[in-house]
């Protein structure tokens, strides 16, 4: 089976979780109707946006509300979720956390953003995660990372050398660096010979205009789906056999010489 993956490029309402849960519910219904996906991907911090100064009030306590919300939608529509990320409030800190939920509604994995993005003040309000983003969903060996993480090729490599064939990227990437977004994603796909499924947000907040241009890139570096800058949905079929074919044609994982890289 070749799973269909859909990215929901959302225009997130700043600091308004109630509105955003409601709009995600509507967009998921639309994505299911239009694209018939097996896996749905959401963007970064989709419940709150970058309203970091109010996280005490609006972050999700232990992510409980979001996990239940995604689990109910997963069961209702028989879809897996790479559930973007949300601000997760734990005892004395807040993380930027991604939840993976399968189509039976079961919670599979969580990953909290490792590299905090100082230009958007994350280091003042959030703490880094400590776990890798490796998981398997819909039969695909996968990794999940969050936005700024894509600037750290060694972090992505730490996942592909452990078997990841699909890299999910969830983001709130601003328009002035659209060129970096596309170039970095294409590079991560080509150098790791993996699918890259990158879900960005659309719209703006008080501090940034966001780039949209969610992308699905195959392991040869071809763009198979791309959104424009507006809110919308893109989808593509993922074929794990293509990863194997590209990796056997140019066997970079066999040819690596890590003993020389330190």
Ligand X SMILES: NC(=O)CCC(=O)C(=O)O
Work out the angle between the directed axes of helices 178-192 and 153-160 (0-180°, nearest 10): 30
- As measured in angstroms, the least distance from the Cβ of 102 to ligand X is 26
Residue 181: name the closest of 204, 207, 214 by CA.
Answer: 214
The stretch near ligand X (CB under 6 A) out of 103-111, 126-134, 168-176, 192-200 is: 168-176
CA dist., res. 28 & res. 46, Å (int)? 13
Our finding on whether 147 is near ligand X (CB under 6 A) is: yes
Strand 39-41 to strand 80-82: parallel, antiparallel, or no bridges (unpaired)? Answer: parallel
Residue in the structure block whose two tokens are 């763009």: 223
Does the annotation mark 199 as catalytic? no
Q: Which of residues 120-139 bind ligand X (CB under 6 A)?
A: 120
Q: Is 53 exposed, middle or buried (0-12, 13-18, 19+ CB in 10 A)?
A: exposed
The stretch near ligand X (CB under 6 A) out of 62-70, 72-80, 143-151, 231-239 is: 143-151
Chain centroid, CA 166 distance in Å = 11
- As measured in angstroms, the least distance from the Cβ of 132 to ligand X is 18
Does the annotation mark 113 as catalytic? yes
Our finding on whether 117 is near ligand X (CB under 6 A) is: yes
Terminal Cα-to-Cα distance of the chain (whole angstroms) = 40
Instruction: Point out the residue whose Cβ comes nearest to ligand X.
Output: 147
Count of all residues that appear for the chain in the document? 262
Is residue 142 within 8 Å of 109, Cβ to Cβ?
no
Number of residues binding to ligand X, judged by CB under 6 A: 11
Is residue 106 within 8 Å of 120, Cβ to Cβ?
no
Our finding on whether 151 is near ligand X (CB under 6 A) is: yes
Our finding on whether 177 is near ligand X (CB under 6 A) is: yes
Among 174, 203, 212, 219, binds ligand X (CB under 6 A): 174
Residue of 7, 147, 194, 199 marked active site: 147
Of the pair 76, 118, the CB lying nearest ligand X is at 118
Does the annotation mark 136 as catalytic? no
Active site residues per annotation? 44, 113, 147
- Applying CB under 6 A, which residues contact ligand X? 44, 117, 120, 147-148, 151, 172-174, 177, 180
């Amino acid at each position: 089976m070749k799973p269909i993956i859909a990215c929901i490029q959302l225009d997130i309402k700043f600091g308004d979780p109630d509105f955003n849960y409601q709009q995600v519910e509507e967009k998921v219904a639309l994505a299911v109707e239009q694209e018939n996906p097996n896996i749905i991907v959401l963007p970064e911090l989709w419940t709150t946006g970058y309203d970091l100064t109010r996280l005490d009030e609006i972050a999700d306590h232990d992510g409980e509300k979001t996990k239940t919300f995604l689990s109910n939608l997963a069961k209702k529509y028989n879809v897996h979720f790479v559930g973007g990320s949300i601000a997760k409030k734990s005892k004395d800190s807040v993380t930027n956390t991604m939840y993976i939920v399968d189509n039976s509604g079961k919670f599979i994995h969580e990953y909290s953003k490792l590299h905090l993005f100082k230009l958007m003040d994350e280091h003042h309000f959030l703490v880094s995660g400590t776990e890798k983003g490796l998981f398997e969903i819909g039969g695909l060996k996968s990794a999940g990372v969050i936005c700024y993480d894509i600037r750290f090729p060694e972090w992505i490599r730490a996942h592909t050398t452990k078997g990841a064939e699909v890299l999910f990227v969830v983001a709130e990437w601003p328009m002035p660096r659209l060129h970096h977004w596309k170039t970095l994603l294409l590079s991560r796909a080509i150098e790791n010979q993996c699918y890259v499924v990158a879900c960005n947000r659309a719209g703006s907040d008080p501090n940034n205009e966001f780039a949209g241009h969610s992308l699905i890139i195959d392991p040869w570096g071809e763009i198979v789906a791309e959104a424009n800058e507006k809110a919308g949905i893109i989808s593509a079929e993922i074929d794990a056999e293509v990863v194997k074919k590209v990796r056997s044609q140019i066997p970079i994982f066999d040819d690596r010489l890590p003993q020389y890289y330190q």
